[in-house]
Amino acid sequence: MDDEKINPVLAKSLLFNMYKIRQVELKIADLYAEQEMRCPVHLSVGQEAVAVGVCNQLANTDIILSAHRSHAHYLAKGGNIDKMLGELYGKDTGCAKGKGGSMHLIDLDAGLIAAVPIVGSTIPIGVGAAWGKKLRGEKEKTIVFFGEGATETGVFHESIGFAALHDIPVIFVCENNLYSVYTHVRDRQSKQRSLKNIIEGHGIKYLHGNGNNVLDVHKIVKDSILHIENIKKPILIEFDTYRWLEHCGPNYDDNLQYRNKEETDRWINKCPIKQLQELLIEKEFITIDEVDNHLNNLEIEIKESFERTKKANFLPPESLFDDIYSE
Ligand SMILES: Cc1ncc(C[n+]2csc(CCOP(=O)(O)OP(=O)(O)O)c2C)c(N)n1
Ligand SMILES: [Mg+2]
């Protein structure tokens, strides 16, 4: 990890936000078997650095879009744990009143304007939202998160072309975790395919970074924000990362044999949280006691949030048709 000129306050805030996401998701994994969360869950354990490195420098009014794997993006963007768990438990405390579930988080207060599990589907929505902002002269930023699998959809290519044509200042963030469900990228894309060439072919700036190094992510995104503010054109950043757990669900999936343990272990070793924690302890920016204390408080906060959520109500059946159309 490049430890030159680390801002300790920033680094601690990045670390604490990654802890929060990791702890919440591990608790979801832990309690999933109780079958009270009745929606599928796609956990981001191992991928926290991208969400945090990007969202830590966004304002509340900046907007993000996500897909099926959206918990990290929502929490990193300032989303509320109760409102997220409410959604997973289908309770009226959820950010979509429990009607959406894990794959349809939406919370305008946090600037998450859509998370939709149809792969690629939020990319044109993000481009449209950013275009609207441009036409209205609004300065808030628009960031669209998607996996490398989404770059194989037609709508991704149409959206990129449209954003380039109209100089729409949107930041596309591609989290390349090598897999789309159970299929490795080498079994889906030709050897010659290059996302960089595709993007640059449209005249869009392409950047690439280590998605397990939150300081790197933060720096690249900071530069990208300056780029879109100055040049007022789109940009795409591809981050390499890895999900530790199964594609959908709370478990490790070594038994499925579509990826081997050596590969998984290698990535687990590159844990974004462990790397930053070790660096900050070594630099004496944080002490073990401070870490333990923070993690204990976090555990209590999360436990209480689960307890409140379990006790919360479901919406009454007669509200089924509410909120379908905007008033
Ligand atoms: C249009 C469409 N095709 C297929 C699926 C089934 N599906 C759900 S998630 C997923 C994998 C997407 O991979 P990627 O975009 O790399 O995201 P990751 O799961 O790795 O975060 C697929 C194929 C879907 N939801 N939508
Ligand atoms: Mg993927």
Strand partners, 146: 174
Pocket lining: 178 vs ligand 1, CB cutoff 6 Å: no
Nearest residue (CA) to ligand 1, atom 21: 147
Tell which atom from ligand 1 comes closest to the C-alpha of 177.
20
Distance 244 CA to ligand 2 centre (A): 12
Cβ(101)–Cβ(32) below 8 Å? no
d(CA 96, CA 120): 21
Pocket lining: 106 vs ligand 1, CB cutoff 6 Å: no
Measured on CA atoms in the order 114, 116, 118, 119, is the torsion positive or negative?
A: positive
Give counts: helices (H), strands (E), the chain. Answer: 11, 8
Pocket lining: 179 vs ligand 1, CB cutoff 6 Å: yes
Please indicate, yes or no, whether the overall pTM of this predicted structure exceeds 0.85.
yes
Domains, the chain, ranges and CATH? 8-177+194-244+268-310 (3.40.50.970)
Report which of 192, 252, 77, 93 is spatially closest to residue 85, judged by C-alpha positions. 93
Cβ(140)–Cβ(158) below 8 Å? no
Per-residue pLDDT of the chain (327 residues; tens, 9 = 90+): 555 689 999 999 999 999 999 999 999 999 999 999 999 999 999 999 999 999 999 999 999 999 999 999 999 999 999 999 999 999 999 999 999 999 999 999 999 999 999 999 999 999 999 999 999 999 999 999 999 999 999 999 999 999 999 999 999 999 999 999 999 999 999 999 999 999 999 999 999 999 999 999 999 999 999 999 999 999 999 999 999 999 999 999 988 999 999 999 999 999 999 999 999 999 999 999 999 999 999 999 999 999 999 999 999 999 999 998 987
